[in-house]
Structure 1
């Protein structure tokens, strides 16, 4: 009898939340995307754009660390999307796949930017000691690859991110209430803003990377950072009351 009672007591213990692990992974990878993207852009890449990198002494190791950080960013991008899909696939299968596709496209642009950086470093190392005439051509080629790196940033983190992380992810989190709606609203605001500013930059209506584009990215910045921290600390919320009520009504109807 004692054994039976003990077994029943154990059976009454609440089951572990199956989404908690996914929430930790998604939130942790979102935080990784922040660390890697910001460290690359602010900490490692500035020597590339100081005006004489390709013909000067250069800081190759520093720049290559930036490229490596962005390679980790690609992994975190795709990992966060696939981990999230395990949570939303039953309710939002199409949007979940769309979010994965957006993350992959963002990563493609980032990868092209990494290749541009590698090419500039190789040119500097192999040809910077050439004659004056060759050096002039080298600077032009190097500037072309750096311009490509700029454009990949505008098309990836400044455009595709608005569609994927802002509009698609923000909508899924807002409707499902897996995170607080006040937090998800930041994505619904920030996504269209950076899509608009990224489009304006591509069309030459505003300066790429200027004050207007930086300010427009603020809601998206806090949305993604807040999402990562929230998921690591608290995990996904339980389905909202209205969702549970809808399910109950469907069960009664059946």
Structure 2
């Protein structure tokens, strides 16, 4: 039962995360968004979806923790901790955009230049939490969970292999983004994220449809 719940929550993380790229376009397209440019409605929906995303991330950790713990205490704690940290960072990013909307609502009579600076700062906070929370933490998650699933044979080994391949690729990409070699939204960053995305999507479908196989190492 826990496995199927985790599978459903993994799939919900995709449903709730992908639309935000488009929903946050008003913030990206309008440097003076905080002054009232662009529509706030899609941004509000994006924030709502990210709150749901954070809850789904935490739910996968809670659902899979007892299963992973039976195979490795260290991996279980590492997976739980990194997944909850991911959820917390997603919520922090959502709060930064909620603050941006609050500034926008109270913009009347305020100094425009100061508001624009504050708005850019809040967007920068969101971008930072995205890099660490939604890009780096999945690397840590996969390192712990994929290792356990590969060794135990609880799912077909091809699925965790894809995750383990993605770990060094996405880690290297995140480091490149951190040092300014390219942007988070660039083609190299998107390509580097594909294996981790494929691993989580395949795991979600398998757990929801099939559950877990008997452990080959039990």
TM range (shorter): over 0.9
Q: What's the counterpart of residue 122 of structure 1?
A: 102
Q: Report which of the two structures shows the higher radius of gyration computed on alpha carbons.
A: 1
Q: 1:175 aligns with which of 131, 143, 151?
A: 151
Q: What's the counterpart of residue 247 of structure 1?
A: none
Q: What's the counterpart of residue 27 of structure 2?
A: 48
Aligned pairs, number = 217
In the TM superposition, residue 57 of structure 1 has moved relative to its aligned partner by 4.3
Contact 2:26 2:43 in 1 (8 A): yes
> Is 2:138 aligned against 1:158?
no
In the TM superposition, residue 48 of structure 1 has moved relative to its aligned partner by 1.3
Q: What's the counterpart of residue 220 of structure 1?
A: 196
Q: Distance in 2 between matches of 1:96 and 1:68?
A: 29
Q: Does 1 or 2 have the higher relative contact order (CA < 8 Å, sep 6+)?
A: 2
> Is 2:77 aligned against 1:97?
yes
**C-alpha RMSD of matched pairs (Å):** 1.4
Q: Deviations over 1:4-49 (max 9, x none)?
A: xxxxxxxxxxxxxxxxx1111010000111111112233x211111
> Which consecutive residues of structure 2, in runs of 5 or more, have no partner in the other structure?
none
Contact 1:107 1:156 in 2 (8 A): yes
> Is 2:180 aligned against 1:201?
no
TM-score normalized with structure 1 length: 0.81
Q: 1:137 aligns with which of 114, 118, 133?
A: 114
Q: 2:168 aligns with which of 177, 186, 192?
A: 192
Q: Distance in 2 between matches of 1:94 and 1:68?
A: 33
Q: Distance in 2 between matches of 1:168 and 1:196?
A: 18
In the TM superposition, residue 137 of structure 1 has moved relative to its aligned partner by 1.7
Q: Deviations over 1:106-163 (max 9, x none)?
A: 1121111111101111111111x336xx112211110111111111111111111111
What SS does the corresponding residue of 1:217 show, helix, strand or coil?
A: helix
Q: What's the counterpart of residue 6 of structure 2?
A: 26
In the TM superposition, residue 60 of structure 1 has moved relative to its aligned partner by 2.1
> Which consecutive residues of structure 1, in runs of 5 or more, have no partner in the other structure?
1-20, 245-254
In the TM superposition, residue 206 of structure 1 has moved relative to its aligned partner by 2.6
Q: What's the counterpart of residue 36 of structure 1?
A: 16
Contact 1:197 1:216 in 2 (8 A): yes
Contact 2:12 2:53 in 1 (8 A): yes
What SS does the corresponding residue of 2:34 show, helix, strand or coil?
A: coil
